[in-house]
Amino acid sequence: MAASKTIDGTMIFDGSVARRGYALNKLCYSFNDRANREEFLRDEGAYCAKYGLNPQQRAAIEHRNVMELLEAGGNVYYLAKFAGIFGLDVQDIGAQQTGMTKEAFSAKLMEQRT
């Protein structure tokens, strides 16, 4: 079904993506809990292994790369909890994905100011 939903620059988070990304999203969901965030920071590899991340997911986490994380089945709402560990917000994420600096990304939004 996913194939029918192609929108440029957009990945619809549907069943096939959710299935692929389940372990990764579950790991990110766990970051609601401070103790888990700290455990992750203490030993990232062990934490990823505990959640059964596949190599693609593990690499995407290691690279802190949002596009890779999305490719690996991540959902942006859960990924935001991962980004939050490093103090990154949705504008940092937007900048990284669009290959801009954060300033340029924010400026592009400000251009549309009402």
Q: Where do contacts with another protein occur on this chain (CB under 8 A)?
A: 1, 4-5, 7-16, 18-19, 22, 25-26, 28-29, 31-34, 37, 66-67, 70, 75-81, 83-85, 87, 89-91, 93-94, 97-98, 105, 108-110, 112-114
CB atoms within 10 A of CB 41: 11
Contacts of 87 (CB under 8 A, 6+ apart): none
> Residue 12 corresponds to which amino acid?
I
**CB of residue 59 to another protein, shortest distance in Å:** 18
Spatial distance between the Cα atoms of 22 and 5, rounded to a whole number of angstroms: 20
Pick between residue 15 and residue 55 the one whose CB is nearest to another protein.
15
**CB of residue 57 to another protein, shortest distance in Å:** 15
Q: What angle do CA 15, 29, 12 make, to 5 degrees?
A: 30
Pick between residue 58 and residue 83 the one whose CB is nearest to another protein.
83
